[in-house]
Each structure stands twice: as structure tokens, then as C-alpha cells.
Structure 1
Amino acid sequence: MASLREEPTFRRAMVATRRVGVTYLPRNVTDRRVVGVDVGGTKILAGIVDPAGRVEHRRERPTELDSQDRLLDELGAAAEELLDDSIAAVGFGLPSRIDQQAGRVDGSVNVPLQDVPLRELMTKRLGRPVALENDGNAAALAEHRAGAGRGAPTMVMLTLGTGVGGGVVVDGNLLRDGGELGHTVLVYDGIPCQGTCTGRGHLEAYVSGTAAAKLAQEAFGPAVDAHRLVRLAAEGDSTAVEILDGIGRKLGAAIGSFVNIFRPQLVVIGGGFASAGDFLLEPARETMRREALPPARGRVQIVRAELGTAAGVIGAALVAYDELGSAG
């Protein structure tokens, strides 16, 4: 079975100390495994994660978007098919606004989850402790503890996929409330946002994979999606390069604002559309250096995520391990 991540460095990601970049498993979870479920706008990824950081199994299924009830059933099924007696908890990373105290999904933009007591529902169905986290936060947590963000006290992460997610780590601690970085207003009265969002000019409308696909289809026709756009750029197509350059500059403008607000040492770019690499990141770096204030603009680095598609699963597993650790 394919592994998402099989490197021992993940052991440093487990929770026990607050020392930046190096954390360890609490004693009460060293012999347990958890399931991490990463819910995206097009697919659900799930895997069993052990204390050494190995994702022992990977499952993938399409995200059910027809109704909330059908999506809830898919979430339960994605976790259930990985359960056995060794599984101590389940973590879900969701593209949603989450009330952590109530264990409730308050709302979502790109999936049909609105005002649902998800922790209670899944705990009853799965018979194990359940932890919830915003998917951008989960990915940021994984990259900070086990990926590109190791050693950076303060880090911003953006995930570019169907939408734009994100998370912020300040002085080693994840900012868990808010953090809808993809809905930062980039252009007043700009183009409409996507999904159920009624706003205009949001970052998500300009730099997501969905936004890139729209621009690609306008230029090349309906058969060209964001991934094909990146391939065309790699093949030297000047129009594709120009489209990605424009997206990268908008991304860099937003990053400049985040640098001014959070003063991170590092900005990590993940998600499926991050495969565009330096076609996006070089113009983003150039624009960030223009928009961010000194001295931060000369110090901050913009890098690609290291964990790839594993970040969401690992991050969801981390919040499940956190839940076990806090339970004692």
C-alpha cells in the first residue's frame, strides 16, 4: 500500500514540549496509532499514522458534494475502513470554520458542511475520540513540526488547491481561531469569490487552482486545467508562463501583507497548485519584497511545502495525537 510519508523526522512533530521545531510523543500515546482524514474540495485522503510518523495506508475517494448528509456519510466511511483495534483516535482536517470548544463545523465555502456537530456525530459513529481542525491549520501544523517549517518560530502557510487555505504559527503556537487567509480581500470590489462565499476580490478568487483553471480555459480552451497549465509553462509556452506570473504576483502581494502583519521568518506554499513551483514563487518573492516593510522583507523566505499531499493527513493525525495527549 502506498505510503504518504515514511520518514522518522515526523517523530519530532508529536506533542509534548513547546520548544520550537523539536517536539516528542507524550508517554501515554507512544504505542498508539491514529487515523488522519484530510477533506478537500475534490477528494478525501485518509491514512493510518503510527508514532514513528509512518502513514501505513492511504485511501482516496472523491469528495461527495451533492448534500451534507452524503458528505457526512463519506467522512465516516473514509475513517471506518481504516479502523482496527490499534486505532486510538481520529483527526479530521476540514475546509471549514470550526468552533473548537463545541466541536462544531460552523460553515464551509467549497463543501456542503454547515452548522453541524461533527465531533459528536463522528465520535458516536467511530467509537473513538475525534479531533477537528481547519485543513489549512492542519497542513501548517504538519509543515511546522515535520516539514519545511521546522525551526521557524513564526511561519505562515498557504495551501493552493480548489480554494486557498492557510494557517499561521506564532512563536511555535498555532493560531487556531480565524485564519481564513484565502478570504483576505486583495482587490476592493474585485471578481466574485467562489463556492458559498458572497465576497468579492478575495485572494482565493485570484490564486487558487480553480482560478488558474479559469484563466487557462480562457486562453487555451475548456480542456486545459491548472495542472495542464503548469505543464504548458514547463514546455515553454509563453502564454502559460505569463498567466502563472500574474497569479504569482497577486500571491506575492498578499504575502507582503501577511509579512507586515505576522512578521514570519518563513512562508510555506503547499497544495496541489504549488506544483507550479518557481513559475509562481519567483514573481511572488519579487512582489513580496516590494510590498513588505523592511527589515522583514529582506529576511523572510518563501518556500514550497515538503510534505506534499501528506501534509493534510499528517496534520489531522497530529491534532488526534494532541487530543490523546491532553486526555492523559
Structure 2
Amino acid sequence: MSKSEQQYLDLCRHVLKEGTKKEDRTGTGTVSLFGAQMRFNLQEGFPLLTTKRIPFRLIASELLWFIKGDTNIRYLLQHNNNIWNEWAFKNWVESKDYNGPDMSNFGLRSQQDEEFNALYQEQMDLFKQRVLEDDKFAAAYGELGDVYGRQWRAWKTSAGETIDQLKEVIQTIKKNPDSRRLIVSAWNPEDIPSMALPPCHTMFQFYVSEGRLSCQLYQRSGDIFLGIPFNIASYALLTHLVAHECGLEVGEFIHTLGDAHIYVNHFEQVKAQLGREPKELPSLKLNEEKQSVFDFDMEDISLTGYDPHPTIKAPVAV
């Protein structure tokens, strides 16, 4: 059994058993606990869950989107990645330019009303098509504001300049690997109002020891069933990419959580997953010809040996 995956399954069990019932922004409801940590030895395999299929290509394209400093969903849609659509769609249907059918509270209504869900899917398809084909529309409504990519690559200063946090951290790892300042922050209080979704994974720190690169993420809020499996794999991939550029081996990914929660409409899915036996972790393969993190494309990243249990579907709380 994978020790890495067992940590995640143990977290699920702990939150179901000990979590506190809490209301939340989406109106769905959760059970939650405050403060948890998982440690993944990246030498033992790539930590992509096997007790349900996790779409690695979505994780990789989202991470490359962050690394590019992009904040518009067009790039994601071009790679058949729909994981940020709901937040952009929400901005569109709540705008003065939208004149279609009422889409208020579409997240919950689409789960509860089949007729409304069909209407919602139709409007979402139209929205995606316009983002892909209409430059002006994409600029206005495909844009998510000052989210992760902007903060990582173009943090705004009081002097009106920008800081490329990710590039500076990589250069510091190369020049001064013992630095205790290898930090990238996505939590910029001034920009929170202009973000479609304030950053859940708020900051990460690298650490070099004995030729290995480790990364610790602090995540203020974590959707355990849907979100956290993505976050684990995303930051593990980031660690591999940065280690590759810096000529280091990978060490650990440490995942520290603030509000770790399971949505009440995910209980049955979590219990189904807990009934499955973990399998061997896959291995990550990177294109050795690419040297810089910033040069990688989707075709340069692949997995081998991934043989998970089937997908378990669950609704996204928006």
C-alpha cells in the first residue's frame, strides 16, 4: 500500500469522524477541521491518487498556466481544461452585458434540477465558444483577475513595478540553496477584491538539503475530495520541474492545510473511495532537453505506470 496515498485516506477518515459542521460561502455546508499536514516522499513515486482516477493532464495544463503568468481561461480551454470555467462564467452571467436565462446560484441549481442543468450546460457551452473565438469577449469575461499566475510572475509593488517571484526564487536556489527565503506568495491582500477566487494555496517554500529539493505548501482552504488531490499532484509536479532546472533531485512535498473540509454532498463519494485499496504510484517523466521551467509544454510532461481505480464524480461548489 502506498504510504503517500494512505495519508490522504487517513485525512478523509479523520475529517469525517472528527470534523465540525460548518456553513460556507457556497451554501453547501461542510465538515471541517483546522490544521493538518501530509508529507510525500517524491522519491517513492509521483503522488497522484490511485483510489480514483485523477486527470493528470488537467493538473499539468493548469500548472503550466500558472507558470506562464496567465490569468485568462482561454489557454485552459485550448487544452480542454474546464476546471476554472465556473468562476469566469459567474462573472459573465452576473454582468450587465448578460441577457440570457437566469443563471443565479447555478452551482446548486444545476445539481437539483435536471431541466435547469440542461439550460446551464447550453449557456456554458456558448460561453466557452465565445471565449475561444472572440478576443474582445475573452479579454472581458475569460479573465479571472489577479489570481495565481499574476501573483507568481507579476506581483505588483507600491512603486508601480512588478516582481517575478517564481523566477527570482529559482535563481536564488541556484545561487544560494541554503537560503531560508525561498518563498512564493499568492496571497496579496490588496488584490483579493479583484480575484475571481481568492487563492486557496496561499504560499509555498522550497528547501534544499543533500542535493534534494523539497517544497512545503500552506493552503488556507482545502476541498478534500475534489481539490486537494489536484493540489498534491500540482505542487509535486512544480517541485519536479524546479528541481530539474536547478540540477537537483526531488525530496519531499509537505502539504499543510488550514481549513480542511469535506462538502456534505461529497460524503458518499468519499466513503466509496475509502473502500478501495491503493495501488502503486506512477512515475513522472520530463523532457530532458528542456532546461527551464518556463520552456515546458504539455508534450514535455508524461506519466508512466498509472493504473487507478475508476473516476468518482462529485459536484463542484462555486
TM-score (norm 1): 0.28
Query: Which of the pair has the greater relative contact order for Cα pairs under 8 Å at 6+ separation?
Result: 2
TM-score (norm 2): 0.28
